[in-house]
């Protein structure tokens, strides 16, 4: 009996050790170990996909350095001063929570008594300082927008979690030069500023990088020989990884899953579109918003002039939430068609469905296209629609509005393309999207478009998405794209 009691007491002791310092019991993955072992003067970058344990490794590096005792390399003796730098409050609270959990929270053997933490706001204070019993410190910068934030202080080690602006990175390097300290980065190249400067530094050897794609092997800890598991107990094996990939849209997959610098999608883009499930003659019930989107094209594009009518059913409680989208009808004409003919065809499409022009709720058209003989533009469509309806141009309601505003620099256009394609991908994947069988071009385009700007069926998809502009603009607020594009 007493033997059993002794055994239980021993288990209790181990449990207490674990709870007081969880960071010492993490079954590290190969790339985490490689990065934690990095011991050069150059900054070390851990570049992985989302949820791959970047912040956990970053938090551990901070803790080991603050202790002056690191399991993977020699470090300067304590006490030391470290900083944790994040670009936004939301990212900062997320990694502060990781840091707090790695430390063991209230039971921590490392931090001083009275350290306060809130899961909503992080450590206490505008610029919190996590104090270790040995005198080491971690200063937390939560909103390092611009270099000024950390100017003037010196640190032995700075961790940048999530993509920084280059000026912030440069400033961090400055802040460790006097002390002979170093800088670490942990990031997925998304939700932040573009990083070509960092990529160049990696290529030139100015930053040493630790990177792997997500593979089953990358999820097996050499410390235990076992695969990492999800909270629900599923191993990160080939099957689970394949499911993850299938759930991620093709624009984001290379970055979010594999931590790639950039994404370039290949093959059919809307792989989530299933004609057996997503074609339907049934119009959605209830009140609908009618949307018309128009795309113009150069004369040589066979199906370049496109107008697509969609009906949107919104959530009854939250009118900004789309419940269902139905593609009702399409008009396709060659790029050389006259605006007179194109406008007449659009009106005919509406008439066939018993819809009057004034019943349309949202109408958006692309930028004008000029050829030697014709100008294809919203103004021309407005002019011809008014004429066909027998009203004066001024009296036409509603009018075709410009889809793109605020400049037409190519990278801005590219980013609206990403936003709207990502949004439509999500609606299809969520089973909120139907196509009427009469829309044969929309169907064919969904089955074949490869995200390319030269694809012969691209225009009809653009028109579909232009009409839905008011729903996808702002759909990707987390990236701040809306401000960049339409501000
Ligand atoms: N070596 C590991 N073994 C098992 N689980 C781990 C390991 N490293 C991290 N985790 C767990 O994986 C999850 C994600 O970790 P973490 O937040 O560090 O990832 P991240 O890459 O920073 O994610 P995000 O992309 O959301 O910022 C957490 O639940 C964490 O506890
Ligand atoms: Mg993280």
Residue 125 has pLDDT above 70, yes or no: yes
Residue 484 has pLDDT above 50, yes or no: no
Residues 287, 200 share a domain: no
Q: Which among 177, 199, 214 is the end of a domain?
A: 214
Q: For residues 381 and 344, give the distance between their C-alpha atoms in angstroms, rounded to a whole number.
A: 9
Mean per-residue pLDDT, 30-51: 96
The answer to whether residue 223 sits within a structural domain is: no
The answer to whether residue 427 sits within a structural domain is: yes
Q: What is the mean pLDDT of the chain?
A: 90
Q: Residue 31: what pLDDT?
A: 98
Q: Which atom of ligand 1 is nearest to the CA of 186?
A: 22
Residues 296, 425 share a domain: yes
Mean per-residue pLDDT, 47-69: 97
Residue 80 has pLDDT above 90, yes or no: yes
Q: What is the Å distance from ligand 1's center to 57 Cα? A: 8
Q: Which residues form ligand 1's pocket by a CB distance below 6 Å?
A: 26-29, 32, 48, 50-56, 98, 188, 221, 228
Residues 281, 157 share a domain: no
Q: Which helix (H) or strand (E) holds 100?
A: helix 89-103
Atom 7 of ligand 1, residue of closest alpha carbon = 53
Q: What is the Å distance from ligand 1's center to 38 Cα? A: 19
Helix and strand numbers, DSSP H then E, in the chain: 16, 17
Atom 2 of ligand 1, residue of closest alpha carbon = 28
Residues 125, 46 share a domain: yes
Q: How many domains does the chain have?
A: 2
CB 417, CB 465: distance < 8 Å: no
Mean per-residue pLDDT, 417-425: 89
Residues 282, 196 share a domain: no
The answer to whether residue 294 sits within a structural domain is: yes
Q: Residue 410: what pLDDT?
A: 52
Q: Output DSSP code: residue 22.
A: G
Q: For residues 385 and 381, give the distance between their C-alpha atoms in angstroms, rounded to a whole number.
A: 6
Strongest mean pLDDT among 32-36, 246-250, 251-255, 259-263: 32-36
CB 141, CB 127: distance < 8 Å: yes
The answer to whether residue 415 sits within a structural domain is: yes
Residues 404, 296 share a domain: yes
Q: Which among 214, 236, 262 is the end of a domain?
A: 214
Return the closest-CA partner of residue 136 out of 59, 58, 61, 65: 65
Residues 194, 65 share a domain: yes
pLDDT in tens, 323-340: 999 999 999 999 999 999
Residues 281, 187 share a domain: no
pLDDT in tens, 429-461: 889 999 999 999 999 999 999 999 899 999 999
Dig out the tokens for 26 from the structure.
Answer: 């993490």
Residues 171, 77 share a domain: yes
pLDDT band at 481 (very low <50, low <70, confident <90, very high): very low
Q: What is the Å distance from ligand 1's center to 211 Cα? A: 15
Q: For residues 423 and 483, give the distance between their C-alpha atoms in angstroms, rounded to a whole number.
A: 17
Residue 146 has pLDDT above 80, yes or no: no
Out of 36, 55, 62, 237, give the residue to mutate to test ligand 1, the one with the largest number of ligand atoms within 8 Å of its CB.
55
Residues 193, 289 share a domain: no
Q: Which atom of ligand 1 is nearest to the CA of 95?
A: 17
Mean per-residue pLDDT, 376-389: 96
**What's the CATH number where 393 sits?**
3.30.420
CB 79, CB 136: distance < 8 Å: yes
Domain that holds residue 287: 275-486
Question: Tokens 């075709």 appear where?
Answer: 400
Residue 207 has pLDDT above 90, yes or no: yes
pTM of the entire predicted model: 0.75
Ligand nearest to the CA of 161: 2
Residues 205, 347 share a domain: no
Residues 138, 55 share a domain: yes
The answer to whether residue 316 sits within a structural domain is: yes
Of 200-209, 212-221, 310-319, the least confident: 310-319
Give whole-number Cα distances, 59 to 6, 22, 241, 348, in Å. Answer: 35, 12, 25, 63
Q: Which atom of ligand 1 is nearest to the CA of 91?
A: 27
Return the closest-CA partner of residue 36 out of 235, 165, 182, 200: 182
Residue 411 has pLDDT above 60, yes or no: no
Mean per-residue pLDDT, 338-366: 97
The answer to whether residue 259 sits within a structural domain is: no
Return the closest-CA partner of residue 92 out of 155, 131, 139: 139
**What's the CATH number where 96 sits?**
3.40.50.300
The answer to whether residue 227 sits within a structural domain is: no
pLDDT in tens, 243-256: 888 888 888 889 99
Q: What is the Å distance from ligand 1's center to 314 Cα? A: 36
CB 109, CB 40: distance < 8 Å: no
Q: Which among 214, 234, 261 is the end of a domain?
A: 214
CB 207, CB 196: distance < 8 Å: no
Mean per-residue pLDDT, 67-83: 97
Q: Residue 321: what pLDDT?
A: 83
Q: Which atom of ligand 1 is nearest to the CA of 231?
A: 29
Q: Which atom of ligand 1 is nearest to the CA of 98?
A: 17
Q: What is the Å distance from ligand 1's center to 150 Cα? A: 27
Q: What is the Å distance from ligand 2's center to 283 Cα? A: 43
Mean per-residue pLDDT, 263-268: 78
Residue 487 has pLDDT above 60, yes or no: no
The answer to whether residue 239 sits within a structural domain is: no
Q: What is the Å distance from ligand 1's center to 472 Cα? A: 30
Q: Which helix (H) or strand (E) holds 328?
A: strand 322-333
Q: In what order do the strands lie in the sheet with 81-85?
A: 129-131, 137-141, 81-85, 157-161, 182-187, 44-47, 208-211
Atom 23 of ligand 1, residue of closest alpha carbon = 51
CB 144, CB 150: distance < 8 Å: yes
68: region left, alpha or beta (phi > 0 left; psi from -120 to 50 alpha): left
């Amino acid at each position: 009996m007493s033997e059993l009691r002794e055994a239980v007491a021993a288990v209790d002791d181990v449990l207490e050790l674990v709870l007081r310092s969880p960071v010492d019991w993490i079954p590290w993955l190969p790339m985490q170990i490689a990065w934690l072992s990095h011991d050069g003067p150059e900054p070390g970058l851990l570049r992985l996909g989302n949820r791959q344990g970047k912040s956990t490794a970053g938090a551990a590096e901070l803790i080991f350095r603050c202790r002056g005792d690191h399991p993977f390399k020699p470090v300067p003796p304590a006490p030391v001063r470290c900083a944790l730098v994040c670009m936004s409050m939301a990212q900062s609270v997320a990694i502060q929570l990781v840091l707090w959990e790695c430390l063991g929270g209230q039971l921590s053997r490392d931090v001083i008594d009275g350290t306060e933490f809130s899961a909503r706001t992080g450590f206490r204070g505008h610029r919190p300082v996590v104090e270790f019993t040995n005198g080491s410190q971690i200063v937390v910068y939560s909103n390092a927008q611009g270099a000024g934030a950390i100017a003037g202080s010196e640190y032995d080690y700075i961790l940048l979690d999530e993509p920084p602006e280059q000026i912030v990175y440069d400033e961090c390097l400055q802040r460790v030069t006097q002390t002979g300290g170093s800088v670490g980065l942990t990031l997925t190249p998304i939700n932040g500023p573009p990083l070509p400067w960092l990529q160049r530094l990696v290529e030139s050897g100015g930053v040493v990088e630790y990177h792997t794609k997500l593979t089953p092997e990358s999820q097996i800890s050499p410390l235990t020989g076992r695969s990492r598991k999800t909270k629900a107990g599923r191993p990160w094996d080939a099957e689970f990884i394949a499911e993850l990939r299938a759930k991620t849209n093709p624009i984001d997959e290379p970055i979010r899953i594999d931590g790639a610098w950039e994404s370039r999608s290949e093959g059919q883009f809307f792989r989530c579109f299933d004609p057996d499930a997503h074609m339907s003659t049934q119009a959605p019930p209830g009140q609908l918003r009618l949307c018309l989107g128009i795309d113009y094209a150069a004369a040589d594009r066979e199906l370049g002039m496109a107008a697509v009518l969609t009906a949107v059913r919104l959530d009854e409680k939250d009118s900004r939430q789309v419940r269902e989208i139905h593609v009702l009808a399409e008009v396709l004409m060659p790029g050389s068609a006259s605006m007179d003919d194109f406008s007449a065809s659009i009106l005919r499409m509406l008439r066939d469905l018993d819809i009057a022009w004034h019943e349309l709720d949202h109408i958006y058209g692309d930028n004008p296209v000029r050829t030697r003989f014709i100008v294809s533009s919203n103004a021309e469509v407005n002019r011809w629609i008014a004429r066909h309806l027998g009203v004066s141009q001024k009296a036409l309601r509603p009018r075709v509005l410009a889809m793109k505003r605020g400049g037409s620099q190519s990278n801005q256009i590219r980013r609206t393309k990403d936003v709207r394609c990502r949004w439509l991908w999500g609606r299809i994947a969520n089973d909120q999207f139907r196509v009427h069988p009469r829309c044969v071009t929309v169907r064919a385009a969904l089955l074949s478009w490869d995200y390319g700007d030269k694809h012969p069926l691209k225009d009809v998809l653009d028109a579909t998405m232009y009409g839905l502009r008011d729903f996808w603009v702002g759909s990707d607020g987390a990236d701040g794209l809306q401000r960049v594009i339409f501000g």
